[in-house]
């Protein structure tokens, strides 16, 4: 049996703001470290309240995973998060 190279490893919480970004990063690092495939999926469907810290958390996760030879793919992007990424010019790095 061949392992599925894409599997949901984690989900973003409902809120990612400056106040909880550090805690969220640590929790997601742990959850994503359990992923064994080359592509790590992160579900953003629950994300409702966020600021630019959410973008920073995603960029840091991407950086860490790339250093391990893995790819981060985020699904179910909130439109506002896509807009915020465009505003900061990082849409290409975390393209949905």
As its CATH architecture, domain 6-24+37-88 has 2-Layer Sandwich (3.30)
pLDDT value for 62 = 96
Mean pLDDT of 63-86: 94
pTM for the whole structure? 0.87
Average pLDDT over residues 78-93: 92
pLDDT tens-place string over residues 21-69 = 999 999 999 999 888 889 999 999 999 999 999 999 999 999 999 999 9
* Res 2: pLDDT: 42
Mean pLDDT of 68-93: 92
Check: CB of residue 50 under 8 Å from CB of residue 17.
Answer: yes
CA distance 41 to 61: 11
Domain boundaries, the chain: 6-24+37-88
H or E segment to which residue 64 belongs:
helix 52-67
Residue 1 has a pLDDT of 40
């Amino acid at each position: 049996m061949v392992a599925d190279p894409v599997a949901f490893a984690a989900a973003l919480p409902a809120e990612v703001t400056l106040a909880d970004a550090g805690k969220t990063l640590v929790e997601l690092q742990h959850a994503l470290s359990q992923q064994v495939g080359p592509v790590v999926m992160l579900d953003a469907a629950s994300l409702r309240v966020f600021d630019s810290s959410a973008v920073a958390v995603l960029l840091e996760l991407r950086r860490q995973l790339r250093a391990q030879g893995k790819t981060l793919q985020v699904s179910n992007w909130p439109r506002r998060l896509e807009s915020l990424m465009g505003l900061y010019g990082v849409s290409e790095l975390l393209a949905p």
